Amino acid sequence: MTHPKPQDGKLGRHQSLAEQAAVELATIPHARSDWDFGDLGRLKAKTRQWLISVMSSPQAALYQVTDIQRIRDLIPLKDAYYGTSEPELLIKLARTIKPLEDSLLFSHVDRSKVGIKYAPVIEGEKAEEDDDGAVDAAFA
């Protein structure tokens, strides 16, 4: 059985979620130098490592100004999380942090849900570098 072709700009009811979500938007160019996170030296080592892993992840290339603001909002929460040993506070912070991280597609499951797939790195191949040739010095 064939299904009628949807009109231009309209989604067909038999398209997968990934196909329905695949909408291309114009992006606002930005440079990593615009990603000011303030004095990183004030942060706990685990928070700095978290920020380095987030900003050097493949999805960081897709982040827009609003995503960077959400990461800025997460920094003090993560720093507080890594700095406490109180179980009740840990649980409260984890419950606050989780949906924010989910919205930034931090986990493999979150990325898969929206159809983002990364090609596996073939052993021995060098990863491609940024336009400027390296991760911003603030993250080194």
List the chain domain ranges: 38-117+127-139
Cα–Cα nearest to 103, from 123, 129, 78, 74: 74
Give the pLDDT confidence score for residue 48 in this predicted structure.
Answer: 95
Reported as a pLDDT band with limits 50, 70 and 90, residue 140 is: very low
**For 87-109, what is the mean pLDDT?**
91
Tell me the pTM.
0.64
For residues 128 and 122, give the distance between their C-alpha atoms in angstroms, rounded to a whole number: 12
Give the pLDDT confidence score for residue 28 in this predicted structure.
Answer: 53
Percent of the chain clearing pLDDT 90 (strictly above)? 31
Residue 70 neighbours by CB distance under 10 Å: 13
Statement: residue 5 has pLDDT above 60: no
| Three-state DSSP state, 60 | helix
